[in-house]
């Protein structure tokens, strides 16, 4: 998200920067495991759940097109319509997933990278070794790497980039709070990162901004220019309008750009975006809203519509210290009373049911939807135990930001009325939600889309706005972070997540999935995670 926009083009303080500032304040109180930056993405778009896909890539099932040669002429320019525009290109200082989306993997590269399944893969480092105690990582770099200006990319650049991030507290520096030192050995072409405490999230953290490598000798205006080592360069940047990427002729790696020019056109207005696709002004639109998708769904001859996996979690949190929501029976009853299938169907069917705090693309995921299946009888029995019924209802207030619309609140009010809950829906400005719910924790029930990957730490933080305090969960999370193997980490996180779900401090309404539409003839556009991870080197368009 950019620093003056919400997730999909809202004006005012961005969710990221607002919550991030508060997260930093809490970190100063010594909560070391709050290193990850809080990300809450505000979704206006209600996403259509259609999967009318072209043949999948033989090498990547989550990328559009079959990757094979087709008849027709390959265009030298592909234009892509996105929603959230960055205000500048300074990825070190400006918050917002819009910058990560367009720059990481295209213009800037990291020590390591993520694939479409959110797994860590090589990038500037071709391989790495980890010590048995989990405190030392040695990265072996590729040979003969260069930046787009022709400068050699060396181990010294890598170490300098990470050390500068920590020294100057650039964006996401908090997530490297466990780092003791970063040292380069140019003769061995290696970089060694030494930690104060083991951290099983380190590699994944380095796939984002903390691991980006910059040219220590380059002089340029980072707000309007970019010098990286990726397959593309920034040829033109027009604030809140467009970014033109041009194939980097000095690119060193295997991800050579297949299309000479990629134009990113930012279209905040949904109708304008759809018209741009219909007219051929853009060839891809990500995302598209449900009520505008029908013409493309029905025109399979010319368009393809497909939903991709992401890490967004629509979290309906119950204030664990609230007057009425501190009663576990009430929280459990609410979970049993929610018809998730109905909610998802009303949004088009693309979203996935999610029974706990970890989405399918994150470590520790386990299908927990069976813990609280839709069961009105159980819900009514629990409410009766707590002293409530349809004739003697419990009044609760659901507070959420107006950028989500009113439909979800209306549905939840209707569903909960059946078990003796009179749900008052309080739709407010996002700034009001931040003050009342996030800061003051003055609420019964809240609803927000938490989009950040690897954000389970929220449930291990008793000071977070959930007011959820479970010592067993906190201990399991600390052990997971200190784990020296992925298997051990994942097992501990899964145990912690199950405990959280059983406690019912929230209901995870669904795992929101982003739907993309493209003109047939487009190939290589990533479908999964494309609101935060959008590698474009493989994209082609055959007219």
> If DSSP codes are grouped into helix, strand and coil, which group holds residue 223?
coil
Asked whether residue 386 falls in the same domain as residue 535, the answer is no
Category of 2 on φ-ψ map: left (φ > 0), alpha (ψ -120 to 50) or beta: beta
* Residue position matching structure tokens 């829906």: 425
Looking at per-residue pLDDT, the higher value among 442 and 48 belongs to: 442
242, part of any domain: yes
Assign 363 a pLDDT band (cuts: 50, 70, 90): very high
Asked whether residue 408 falls in the same domain as residue 326, the answer is yes
Assign 15 a pLDDT band (cuts: 50, 70, 90): very low
Share of the chain above pLDDT 70, in %: 87
| Position 354 pLDDT exceeds 90 | yes
Distances 346 to 322, 339, 408, 423 between C-alpha atoms, Å:
30, 11, 9, 20
106, part of any domain: no
Domain tally for the chain? 2
Asked whether residue 268 falls in the same domain as residue 370, the answer is no
Per-residue pLDDT at 72: 73
Alpha-carbon Rg for the chain, nearest whole angstrom, is 23
| Position 253 pLDDT exceeds 90 | yes
Per-residue pLDDT at 543: 85
108, part of any domain: no
**Domain extent at residue 265:** 232-310+514-542
Asked whether residue 365 falls in the same domain as residue 296, the answer is no
| Position 322 pLDDT exceeds 50 | yes
Asked whether residue 341 falls in the same domain as residue 452, the answer is yes
Asked whether residue 418 falls in the same domain as residue 501, the answer is yes
Spell 134-166 as b/e; 16+ CB within 10 A means b: bbbbbbebbeebbbbeebebbbebbbbbbbebb
Asked whether residue 440 falls in the same domain as residue 535, the answer is no
For helices 407-417 and 328-337, the axis angle rounded to 10 degrees is 110
Q: Which residues, at least 6 apart from 397, have a Cβ–Cβ distance to it below 8 Å? A: 423, 424, 425, 426, 443, 444, 445
Assign 73 a pLDDT band (cuts: 50, 70, 90): confident
42, part of any domain: no
> If DSSP codes are grouped into helix, strand and coil, which group holds residue 99?
helix
Asked whether residue 416 falls in the same domain as residue 537, the answer is no
Asked whether residue 280 falls in the same domain as residue 404, the answer is no
CA–CA gap between residue 295 and residue 298 (Å, rounded): 5
Share of the chain above pLDDT 90, in %: 81
Of 41, 36, 364, 365, nearest in space to 206 by CA: 36
CA–CA gap between residue 9 and residue 380 (Å, rounded): 41
CA–CA gap between residue 130 and residue 188 (Å, rounded): 17
Asked whether residue 332 falls in the same domain as residue 451, the answer is yes
* Residue position matching structure tokens 């991709």: 308
């Amino acid at each position: 998200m950019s620093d003056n926009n919400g997730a999909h083009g809202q004006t005012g303080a961005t969710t990221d920067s607002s919550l991030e500032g508060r997260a930093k304040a809490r970190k100063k109180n010594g909560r070391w495991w709050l290193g990850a930056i809080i990300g809450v993405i505000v979704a206006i778009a209600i996403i259509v759940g259609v999967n009318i896909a072209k043949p999948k890539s033989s090498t990547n099932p989550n990328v559009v097109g079959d990757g094979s040669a087709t008849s027709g002429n390959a265009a030298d320019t592909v234009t892509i319509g996105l929603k959230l525009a960055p205000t500048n290109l300074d990825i070190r200082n400006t918050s917002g997933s819009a910058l990560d989306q367009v720059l990481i993997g295209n213009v800037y590269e990291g020590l390591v990278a993520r694939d479409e399944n959110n797994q860590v893969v090589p990038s500037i480092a071709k391989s790495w070794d980890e010590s048995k105690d989990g405190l030392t990582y040695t990265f072996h770099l590729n040979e003969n790497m260069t930046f787009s200006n022709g400068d050699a990319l060396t181990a010294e650049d890598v170490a300098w980039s990470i050390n500068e991030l920590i020294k100057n507290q650039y964006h996401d520096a908090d997530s490297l709070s466990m780092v003791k030192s970063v040292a380069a050995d140019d003769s061995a072409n290696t970089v060694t990162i030494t930690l104060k405490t083991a951290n099983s999230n380190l590699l994944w953290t380095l796939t984002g901004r903390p691991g980006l490598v910059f040219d220590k000798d380059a002089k340029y205006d980072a707000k309007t220019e970019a010098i990286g080592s990726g397959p593309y360069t920034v040829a033109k940047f027009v604030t809140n309008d467009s970014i033109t990427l041009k194939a980097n002729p000095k690119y060193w790696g295997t991800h050579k750009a297949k299309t000479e020019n990629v134009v990113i056109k930012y279209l905040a207005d949904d109708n304008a975006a759809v018209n741009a696709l219909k007219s051929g002004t853009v060839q891809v639109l990500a995302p598209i809203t449900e009520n505008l998708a029908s013409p493309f769904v029905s025109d399979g001859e010319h368009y393809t519509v497909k939903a991709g996996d992401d890490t967004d979690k629509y979290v309906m949190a119950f204030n664990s210290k609230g007057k009425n929501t501190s009663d576990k029976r009430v929280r459990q009853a609410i979970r049993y009373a929610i018809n998730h299938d109905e909610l998802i169907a009303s949004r088009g069917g693309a979203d996935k049911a999610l029974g706990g705090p970890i989405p399918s693309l994150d470590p520790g995921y386990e299908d927990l939807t069976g813990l609280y299946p839709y069961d009105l009888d159980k819900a009514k029995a629990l409410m009766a135990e707590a002293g409530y019924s349809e004739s003697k209802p419990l009044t609760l207030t659901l507070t959420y930001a107006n950028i989500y619309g009113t439909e979800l609140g209306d549905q939840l009010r209707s569903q909960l009325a059946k078990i003796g809950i009179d749900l008052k829906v309080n739709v407010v400005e996002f700034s009001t939600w931040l003050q009342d719910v996030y800061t003051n924790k003055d609420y019964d029930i809240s609803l927000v889309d938490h989009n950040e990957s690897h954000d389970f730490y929220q449930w291990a933080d008793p000071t977070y706005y959930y007011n959820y305090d479970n010592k067993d969960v906190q201990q399991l999370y600390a052990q997971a972070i200190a784990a020296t193997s992925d298997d051990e980490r994942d097992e501990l996180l899964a145990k912690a997540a199950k405990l959280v779900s059983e406690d019912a401090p929230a209901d995870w309404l669904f795992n929101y999935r982003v739907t993309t539409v493209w003109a047939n003839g487009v190939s290589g556009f990533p479908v999964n995670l494309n609101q935060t991870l959008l590698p474009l080197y493989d994209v082609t368009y055959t007219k």
